[in-house]
Amino acid sequence: MANKVLDSQCPCCGAPIFYNAQLSKWKCEYCDNEFTLEELQKHKNVSSIADTNVQDNFDNYINYHCSNCGAEIIADENTAATFCPYCGNASILQNRLSNQFAPSYIIPFKIPKENAQRALKKLSKGRPLMPKSFNNAQNIAKITGIYIPFWLHDIQIGGSLTTMGTLITTWSSGEYIYTKTDIYKFDYEAAMTYERIPMDGSKRFDDEVMNSLEPFNFAELVPYNYAYLAGYYALKYDVDAAITLENATKRAMNSTIDYLYADMGAYQNKTIANNALQVLKNAHQYVLLPIWMVNVKYRDKMYLFAMNGQTGEFVGDIPFDKGKAILYAILLFVFGFALTIGISYALYLLGVG
């Protein structure tokens, strides 16, 4: 089958229509009409939420492979695919999309692009050593909305845990100082359930960066519909659920142990004597989460700015201009030297010293 393109059209004028993050609706830029997903579905302009053949919808996409970094990106024909949002390369190749991209749910963009652009501009305030090119108009314009693949894991931890803790008491009597160490043993039976632990399903992103953009409000997850992708990029997962389950399990285990440690109170030197905790149940869902991002190249290195497209939480890897640093150091030295000479001369005129 030949590749098709995503084509969500305005029911009134037939023009391409895009999801508006501020309105939480689809708005036509030509006739200015607004529509909910249900209204578009009535006109058969987007797929039905109840469509059981989800895979068929993915033939409507064009798949791009960046010739520079190899990133695999999903976009519709109306998205300006003139550069790769991951490495900034302008050469993007069009290929046929495979049918592996089938999320169950999506959180639509809630934060508009203008908010992300303003946040990037504000980064320069209080950072005089930041290169001017980092947030120039061209880079700010490249901020791109991307749906990132995530696995949400539900994990139930159960079993027993034995911990040890000490309570140290010190007192003095006469010329002597006494120390008493009491050792306590704690036996726990635990059963804890963790829901929707988010794990990044893309190798393209640093997990620490993705963790910094949490939390997401998963109460706003909606059944996936391709209409939400109009005007945005989407990335297919390239990390399987089984791999991310291992890290999600570590998070759940560590949280359980931390909780039990906190229950021990003020005891010191807390250690684990026996750990029989294990995963009793686990399940997962594949979802797409919204991120505004741009990679800025400076001195042959890429610097990332990313914003949670739902909450507005953002992280930025900010470079500093070595040339500016040297210039400011020279100016500071000259100013300090001139100030010292001026003070010395003033004291000389006053006959001091």
pLDDT in tens, 34-51: 888 888 877 765 544 444
pTM exceeding the 0.75 threshold for the entire prediction: no
Q: pLDDT value at position 219? A: 94
253 has a pLDDT exceeding 90:
yes
- Point out which residues pair with 278 in neighbouring strands: 158
Per-residue pLDDT band at 352 (split at 50, 70, 90)? low
Higher pLDDT, 240 or 141: 240
Domain ranges in the chain?
A: 18-151+201-237+286-321, 154-193+247-283, 322-353
- Which residue from 259, 227, 193, 205 is spatially nearest to 69, judged by alpha carbons? 205
Higher pLDDT, 85 or 305: 305
Residue 201 CB neighbour total at 10 angstroms: 26
Per-residue pLDDT band at 151 (split at 50, 70, 90)? very high
Higher pLDDT, 333 or 109: 109
Helix (H, G, I), strand (E, B) or coil at 131: coil
For the record, the structure tokens of 99 come out as 């049918």
30 has a pLDDT exceeding 60:
yes
Q: pLDDT value at position 82? A: 38
Q: pLDDT value at position 90? A: 47
242 has a pLDDT exceeding 80:
yes
Residues 202/239, Cβ–Cβ less than 8 Å: yes
222 has a pLDDT exceeding 90:
yes
Residues 279/256, Cβ–Cβ less than 8 Å: no
Cis status, amide bond into 215, omega within 30 of 0:
yes
- Which residue from 135, 163, 122 is spatially nearest to 257, judged by alpha carbons? 163
Q: How far apart are CA 154 and CA 249, in angstroms?
A: 9
Residues 202/148, Cβ–Cβ less than 8 Å: yes
Higher pLDDT, 114 or 335: 114
Residue 235 CB neighbour total at 10 angstroms: 23
